Amino acid sequence: MSSTVTSRRRQLGNEIRRARLAAGMTQQEVAELLGCGQGKINKIEAGAVSVKQSDLKQMLDAFGASRTEVDMMMELARTSGQRGQWSGYRSAVPHWFRTFTDLEPAASEILSWHGERIPGPLQSEHYMLKQFSEARATDVTALVRNRLERKQVFDLKRPPYYRFILGEAAFRRMPGGPNPSVALDQVEHLLRLEERYARTFIHVLPFDTRLSFVPNDFTIMRFSDATKDFVFVEHAAGGVYIEDEGDFELFVDAWDRLRGAAQERRETAEFLEKLAEDLRTQIQV
């Protein structure tokens, strides 16, 4: 998998999947519509094979897709396999991160570890605005829209099981330095989010946990279809997608060690509620 470009075919497959799910149709129903096997639809959505424009048009008609969606997906089909550029506010997403955001809604399970910061899908608007302003971002509106779009993964009809482990430092180190107001907004946001979404799990890894070391941040994505599982590791110059089975299992082992040391959901809720109380006290002083 290229770590620097998102293929249009894979992007198209994700868009088809989203449109199908929005229409409440199964892969088998689409296969019957086109007169093919379910396996072919699965491969189309995984970006493993291309799709004929006539078949795509038939699918989009059945999905009740909007004219904008039809035009966008037909263009993707026409240029399938070429390197694509995202337009509009989506172009603010770094090219090395587009494969990740494309596949995020399609995953069956996502395991995310972040030691020093709150990851994008969990960020409150106050937190993300502070982060972007401290980074002197020039396209804040586009970045916020992209961040809010990613949050839609939680509202899918069948969202992935999204499991987060967050280091305690992520709550102590706010963008731009100590800021009780931003921290309180973020903590309260997390409490509401986990209460609302049954498939979202948040676990805090406290400072006093007994571990020999903690690894750098990483995210594991697993899929129930033909899409290959992978690990995404972000760094200062971009990101790396790791698919090698041996390396993948090393990250799974690292995740299991972190999960075994992290707090359970009830303990995490108590930690966040206590932290929220402390932050309110700081704000009032």
Question: 277, exposed or middle or buried, with CB in 10 Å at 0-12, 13-18, 19+?
Answer: exposed
Alpha helices, H only, the chain: 8-23, 27-34, 38-46, 53-63, 67-78, 98-103, 125-134, 140-150, 169-172, 180-196, 245-261, 265-284
Amino acid at 283: I
pTM for the complete prediction? Answer: 0.72
pLDDT, tens digit only, all 285 positions of the chain: 433 234 567 778 888 988 999 999 999 999 999 999 999 999 888 777 889 989 999 999 999 999 888 988 888 787 665 444 455 656 677 878 888 888 898 899 999 999 999 999 999 999 999 999 999 988 898 899 888 888 989 998 889 999 999 999 999 999 999 999 999 999 999 999 989 999 999 999 999 999 999 999 999 999 886 677 899 999 988 889 898 999 999 999 999 999 999 999 999 999 999 999 999 999 986
